[in-house]
């Protein structure tokens, strides 16, 4: 026999008072999550942690019909990765050249660090391209 299904979900953990205490934490007004504003690049702060406004994970396909299809996919991904890092590098360079930063060595290190991260992500992407299945 099938288990009884209750439409009111009385057995749901959400009805458990312990769950409600965990699910609805109280925070000081300065710790409240910021509401989505018109500025989509705004960083949201909650309980002292910073969160980007959006988080996206792009998964590679399980396989490709042809090598051309595979190469098109990874070329588009490579362009997206390059664009993302070029924006970050350009921003760091602009901060360095704005005159607000007095430590030129720290600026240079920051740009070099971003370039190294870009290169590592591109290398990882190329490795996935080489391992991708072509049927």
- Tens digits of per-residue pLDDT, 24-80? 344 443 444 444 443 445 667 777 777 777 778 889 999 999 999 999 999 999 999
How much is the pTM? 0.58
Q: Is 10 helix (H, G, I), strand (E, B) or coil?
A: coil
DSSP string, 19-73: HHHHHS----GGGSPPPP-S-TTPPEEETTEEE-S-----PPPS-BSSHHHHHHH
Higher pLDDT, 33 or 9: 9
Q: Report helix, strand or coil for 134.
A: strand
Find tokens 């430590």 and name the residue. Answer: 103
Helix (H, G, I), strand (E, B) or coil at 116: helix
pLDDT of residue 25: 42
């Amino acid at each position: 026999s099938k288990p009884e299904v209750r439409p009111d979900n009385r057995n749901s953990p959400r009805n458990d008072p312990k769950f409600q205490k965990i699910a609805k934490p109280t925070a000081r007004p300065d710790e409240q999550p910021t509401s989505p504003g018109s500025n989509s690049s705004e960083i949201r702060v909650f309980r002292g942690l910073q969160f980007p406004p959006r988080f996206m994970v792009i998964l590679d396909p399980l396989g490709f019909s042809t090598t051309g299809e595979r190469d098109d996919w990874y070329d588009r991904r490579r362009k997206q990765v390059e664009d993302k890092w070029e924006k970050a590098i350009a921003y760091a360079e602009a901060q360095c050249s704005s005159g607000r930063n007095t430590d030129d060595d720290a600026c240079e290190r920051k740009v070099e660090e971003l370039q190294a991260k870009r290169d590592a992500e591109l290398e990882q992407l190329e490795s996935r391209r080489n391992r991708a299945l072509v049927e």
